[in-house]
Structure 1
């Protein structure tokens, strides 16, 4: 079941919007603003949120607003549209209310359903509860004469019970007794998960829940789904949001919840390879990007110190001091703390070189990366070789496949991508690996 069942291979951004708010002449004002987003400000998945983001007494109006706004502007929206409805594993009344809202939103007479890609179901429990939601969506499809399975279902993992249920997905999906193959996204909801786990931190901040994110990513991979991390509440902490995305990407979770158009832009760009390659140094546990000056990579912090002395060099990284007798030894020591982050152009170049070598009957090639590094006015030439074989090629294809998926599904971002990388690099990135 690890084959993708939906058109999207990747989802970078999951953006929620309140569906109805009191105090405005138009309670759907925020919906109308969100559906008009384009380019890097527009998410891969837009979620008109008729649950937590909307007051309980406004949710009936919210369901009507979704239908009205999506009917008006859904055809031009560049991402997918997946409204979130109310649901709770312990409340039949809440589940029935969510069912009623799905019926209203998907009613063909309202003109929205042809632009609705699915529904997001929060607060799910064990797998039987997931099947209840699936059955309700199946009933909605049959009630309105829609093709069974045409509406996707995404769930938010907000309890230990739901986390455990993910382990059974691979076996249960595709059975004749359910339509769970409609599943699309597995989304972490760390706030309610923290409440369900009765977790306490000294500051009241959320735990990182790295295990939850890993388990969600693993379940999505095994079941052919897409994993998405939960909301990052400190919307002004752009660096922290970027760090969270980077950590998630390293475990295969390329999607994250976005609360503002600014977060959407950051999350849309962050998983893509950079336009320019750069060197980093592990400065006593802190990764620091080197700056380029006249072709030299420069470290200007105080956590790494380098001095040329009689008979060699003294290199100090934090409390660790080394005496190195030659520039060759020094270069080797620096390579232990230096890393190169390849650009899109670098990755495409390497893949094209490997493809050419494979055509010529060679199974592996060495890709060399070299630079001159300056630390405390001491310059050192460093060079490393990375062996590329078929396994390396396949691993490095993931960011290219992501780029190709974005290019195919988001034509509204073509100009942004060409501006970021250049039209030549974009054209080559589209073709490589195919």
Structure 2
């Protein structure tokens, strides 16, 4: 049996999953949204583009939508910098819907239409238990056979929109490599919180969607166990950039890098947010939460109003929120050191990894990395120094954001100039070489 962690895809990360309607009613060119999306480039172009012939397209327009996908992808697919994965109709409880999706896949993948050489796979929504996943896999296998395509050349991604599908992720690892199916073609596990909420009969007082952190955790875990890629569902408030960033930050803490994008603006946010920052940033917990310090003349200044320091005859009076204490210089330094944390830049991460690699090459298994800063609060300056031991486990954990960057750099050459502008040519060169 095939090891499920042996990936079918070289790509380890997907940052952005962007859907477009395949046919718009009442327009002279019903495919205009597809044409517009197909010409996105650079940071506005998603890692995975999903011509959406399901929810984003009216039922009466879906046959035309399938034709539009074939036409637009045949014309623009060769130049599109990301992967192309159309979403077709499917439903675990409806044979008629599944058959219609199958017919659309047959049309889209027909070599005579000229699109299939640019199509990487299909996205299957509304799946149920694992037997239902196998039905979709079998249909894709038939499509490949019917059109003389290489077996397994079309990937399959599913949208987790039901409790059945959520439970199926736990069984997927044991089915990969089974000779009775071709589930090795699996690529993405994508959360669909709207239909999941409906399926779970969940309610909130305001009618807003629940957060569903358990679903996102389970999807990330299922993807990790099966060697796949996890993607979060859509964030509907497209004007709430801060909320979108916060959602992505929470997801990354669960191991879920990718997120659904509804607009090119969200694509830019999704493509940039997971990358290491250009500059390092000190944070300070002032009792209300971690706040960013402002760098001024080599010092990191606190400008909030929840923490203050006052010099006294005997030392210092320190207050954070309702907590007040008297301390000497050493006590104040310890207090700020406990409250301070550092977000490393790309250059910082690469530099630390290079230092550890050099030490390991010299036969040293662990080294101390020192980070220094001068923090200023209410005109009082305090020098702090933070030591962190680096061993092989620390190195591997720090490597994850660099591995992400290397994955992006390999698969998105259209973003090379923007990455060099963001970090500098030197940092990019070092980042692509470290950890190899």
TM-score by shorter chain over 0.5: yes
More deviation, 315-324/182-191: 315-324
Q: Deviations over 1:41-74 (max 9, x none)?
A: 0000000000000000000000000000000010
Report the secondary structure of 1:175's partner residue: coil
Q: Match for 2:385 among 383, 386, 407?
A: 383
Aligned positions, number? 433
Give 1:286's match in structure 2, choosing from 289, 294, 302.
Answer: 289
Structure 1 residues 194-205: aligned runs within 5 Å? 194-205=197-208
Q: Which segments of structure 1 move beyond 4 Å, counting only runs of 4 or more?
A: none
2:286 and 2:233 mapped to 1: Cα distance? 30
| Aligned counterpart, 1:64 | 67
Q: State whether residues 192 and 233 of structure 2, in contact with CA within 8 Å, keep that contact through their aligned partners in structure 1.
A: yes
Q: Deviations over 1:392-411 (max 9, x none)?
A: 00111111110001000000
1:246-291 superposed Cα distances (whole Å, 9 cap, x missing partner): 1111110000000000000011000010010011122324221111
Structure 1 unaligned residues grouped into runs of 5+? none
2:162 equivalent to 1:163: no
Structure 2 unaligned segments of length 5 or more: list them.
none
1:349: Cα distance to partner?
A: 0.4
Q: 1:338, 1:152 → 2: CA distance? A: 45
1:323 alignment counterpart: 326
Match of residue 48 from structure 2: 45
Whole-Å separation in 1 of the counterparts to 2:8 and 2:311: 59
Distance 1:43 1:9 in 2: 15
Partner of 2:117: 114
Taking structure 2 as the reference length, the TM-score comes to 0.98
Partner secondary structure for residue 123 of structure 2 = strand
1:371-410 deviations in Å (ceiling 9; x for gaps): 1111122111111011100000011111111000100000
Partner of 1:366: 368
Q: Alpha-carbon deviations, 1:18-56, whole Å to 9, x = none? A: 000012110000100101001000000000000000000
Partner residue of 1:346 out of 336, 345, 348? 348
Aligned pairs for 1:155-234 (under 5 A) are 155-234=158-237
Q: How far, CA to CA, are the matches of 1:161 and 1:345 in structure 2?
A: 44
Query: 138-147 or 375-384, which moves further after superposition?
Result: 375-384
| Deviations, residues 78-110 of structure 1 (Å, cap 9, x unaligned) | 000000000111111111111010000000000
CA distance in 2, matches of 1:156, 1:2: 21
Post-superposition offset of 1:121: 0.4
* 1:314 CA drift (Å): 2.2
Aligned-CA RMSD value: 0.9
Q: What pairs with 1:390-401 in structure 2 (closer than 5 Å)?
A: 390-401=392-403
Q: Which residue of 2 aligns with 1:425?
A: 427
- Matched with 2:24 is 21
For normalisation by structure 1, the TM-score amounts to 0.98
Between the aligned partners of 2:293 and 2:408, the Cα distance in structure 1 is 29
Alignment of 1:130 onto 2:133: yes
